[in-house]
């Protein structure tokens, strides 16, 4: 009788352990939903804590021409588009320096329309500004978004005249998760890891990182479930993927100049200081600006949008517009 009770007890313990393991495995598969990420939802999120803020909006589009919904790449599930903003006084043969704008949203949500206001201001200052849509993690996991953006760069070079774009002068600007993407694209030109179907170069000449991480494995990084959804595995399950997606690991003497604009929250610039150290060792030009007291997504809100735009324009004028 005692043996039967012992065996029964062991069986119950094993069943409990199996149940716990099964539950743990299911938890790693649970997908975290994020609310819509727009200018308005950002304002609603922060207005109580920062009662002096206002959402950014465009009040004057005079002198700016916009080509909407240009299809730059077809995936198996969708047609990916970007919008093109440029000066209305641009002559048919004029080729202007280009700025790609990559929206944020945790690789899960967000929309290129969040970048339309900055695109308008960039166009007014002599740039072809191109907010880009890319595959979100609900549609395709890493590295799909990286390859999508490289396709966008190649499309621009292959259609310079139609877009008034100077393919020799391309900058890439990203915000939040879009900043991680922009930086990764910028530091991996023509990489065998992120190959597209085109032979056209996907290199850029300048990178602008607005409050985005450059390492998923840095001690400052707090990325978890959302990053795992995009990367297709947790850090424990596949650390190599987390390392591969970290721009910090690709700095060389050929890396373009980089501008960092950050809030004062370290988690949103994980790895930045280490990257700056590497850039300095190669004597690559870099700038860093911190908006003290600003929340994440500050670029979608007044009063922080204005200094953000000023830093962007000054950097572009120095590293892109007047480069040879």
Q: Is 246 helix (H, G, I), strand (E, B) or coil?
A: coil
Confirm if 285 and 200 have CB atoms less than 8 A apart. no
Confirm if 133 and 82 have CB atoms less than 8 A apart. yes
Confidence of residue 229 (pLDDT cuts 50, 70, 90): very high
Residue 92 CB coordination number (10 Å): 6
CA-based nearest residue to 305, from 33, 46, 28, 57? 57
Q: What pLDDT score does 31 carry?
A: 66
Q: What is the tens place of the pLDDT at every residue in 180-206?
A: 999 999 999 999 999 999 999 999 999
- Strands of the sheet with 128-132, listed across from one edge: 64-74, 79-87, 128-132, 96-102, 165-175, 206-210, 257-262, 286-290
CA-based nearest residue to 289, from 260, 315, 257? 260
* 50-59, Cβ contacts within 8 angstroms, sequence gap of 24 or more: 50/295, 50/301, 52/303, 53/301, 53/302, 53/303, 54/301, 54/302, 55/300, 55/301, 55/302, 56/117, 56/300, 56/301, 56/302, 56/305, 57/117, 58/116, 58/117, 58/120
More confident residue, 227 or 21: 227
Please state, for a pLDDT cut of 90, what percent of the chain lies above it: 82
Residue 15 has pLDDT above 50, yes or no: no
Residue 304 to residue 297: CA distance in whole angstroms: 9
Residue 179 to residue 212: CA distance in whole angstroms: 5
């Amino acid at each position: 009788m005692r043996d039967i009770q012992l065996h029964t007890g062991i069986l119950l313990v094993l069943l409990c352990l199996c149940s716990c393991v099964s539950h743990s495995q299911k938890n790693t598969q649970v997908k975290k939903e994020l609310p819509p990420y727009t200018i308005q939802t950002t304002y609603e999120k922060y207005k109580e804590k920062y009662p002096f803020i206002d959402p950014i909006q465009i009040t004057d589009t005079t002198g700016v021409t916009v080509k909407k919904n240009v299809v730059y790449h077809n995936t198996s599930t969708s047609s990916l588009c970007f919008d093109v903003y440029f000066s209305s006084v641009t002559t048919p043969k004029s080729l202007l320096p280009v700025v790609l704008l990559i929206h944020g949203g945790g690789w899960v949500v967000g929309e290129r329309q969040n970048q339309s206001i900055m695109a308008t201001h960039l166009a007014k200052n002599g740039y072809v500004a191109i907010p880009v849509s890319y595959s979100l993690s609900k549609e395709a996991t890493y590295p799909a978004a990286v390859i999508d953006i490289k396709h966008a760069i190649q499309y621009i070079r292959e259609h310079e005249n139609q877009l008034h774009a100077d393919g020799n002068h391309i900058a890439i600007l990203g915000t939040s998760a879009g900043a991680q993407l922009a930086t990764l694209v910028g530091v991996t030109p023509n990489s065998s890891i992120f190959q597209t179907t085109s032979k056209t170069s996907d290199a850029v000449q300048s990178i602008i990182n607005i409050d985005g991480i450059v390492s998923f494995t840095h001690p400052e990084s707090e990325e978890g479930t959302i990053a795992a959804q995009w990367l297709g595995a947790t850090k424990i399950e596949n650390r190599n993927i987390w390392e591969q997606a970290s721009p910090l690991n690709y700095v060389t003497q050929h890396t373009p100049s980089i501008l960092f604009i950050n809030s004062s929250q370290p988690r949103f610039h994980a790895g930045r200081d280490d990257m700056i150290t590497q850039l300095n060792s190669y004597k690559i030009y870099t700038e860093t600006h911190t908006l003290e007291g600003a929340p994440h997504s500050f670029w979608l809100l007044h009063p922080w949008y204005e200094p953000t735009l000023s830093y962007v324009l000054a950097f572009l004028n120095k590293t892109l517009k007047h480069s040879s």
